[in-house]
Amino acid sequence: MDAQNYIQELRREYSGRPLDETKIAGDPIEQFSLWLEDALQALVPDPHAMVVATADRNGKPSARVVLLRGFSKDGFAFFTDYRSRKGSEILENSRVAAVLFWHELDRQVRVEGTVEKLSASDSDKYFQSRPRENQIAAWASGQSGVISTRAELDERFAEFEKRFTNQPVPRPDNWGGFRIKPESVEFWQGRPSRLHDRILYTLNKTGSWEICRLAP
């Protein structure tokens, strides 16, 4: 199979339900909650998988998949090593974009805004909810740093596993949460003939959300 030709000819029709701006929630977080519930009901794999795009102080972009671990009127939360590439870039340039895509529902949510650190207590609370092996991994991995071999990583994991034998694993100072504070949220619903529904929420200067429809 010629992969290049194959992807050029690859087609499928979208058949999602209509998305009507007169019938959606007035707040994007409420609308997001409704859509996430639909994704859970549809058994979408990893419905909390979220692509987060960051840029350094010079505007060089990078993107990766993280796991959404909470959302509220204040924004969308995820956790990472602050020394990682995304962590370092966020600390240099707080503007980010994020995307969640639910293939089974032909739906996509796009978020743009700024990022703030979660409080130490919020990060501690989430860290203690993680499986013990994941807690130890946060100590063993200097995320995004260069390592010589896989064996080096395994050895560091074993060292910290021994260090914390028979005691709780504390949260490393370099590990914690970020919250994306949205300034715009777009809901995309795939529709037949590529005439997709796109509804955009934009935060205005008064702190209210304005809603408009975008051409597909």
Q: What is the residue extent of each domain of the chain?
A: 14-131+174-214
What's the one-letter identity of residue 42?
A: A
Instruction: Work out the average pLDDT over 30-53.
Output: 98
How high is the pLDDT of residue 170? Answer: 97
Catalytic residues: 194
153-208 pLDDT, tens digit per residue, is 999 999 999 999 999 999 999 999 999 999 999 999 999 999 999 999 999 999 99
Amino acid present at 63: A
CA-based max dimension of the chain: 60
Q: Comparing C-alpha atoms, which of 92, 32, 98, 35 is closest to residue 65?
A: 98
Tens digits of residue pLDDT in 125-146: 999 999 999 999 999 987 777 7
Architecture of the domain defined by 14-131+174-214: Roll (2.30)
Cα torsion at 133, 135, 136, 139 (round to 10°)? 150
The burial of 41, by beta-carbon neighbours within 10 Å (0-12 exposed, 13-18 middle, 19 or more buried), is given as exposed
CA 15/CA 189 separation, integer angstroms: 9
The whole-number average pLDDT for the span 27-37 is: 98
Q: What are phi and psi of 70, to 5 degrees?
A: 170, 155
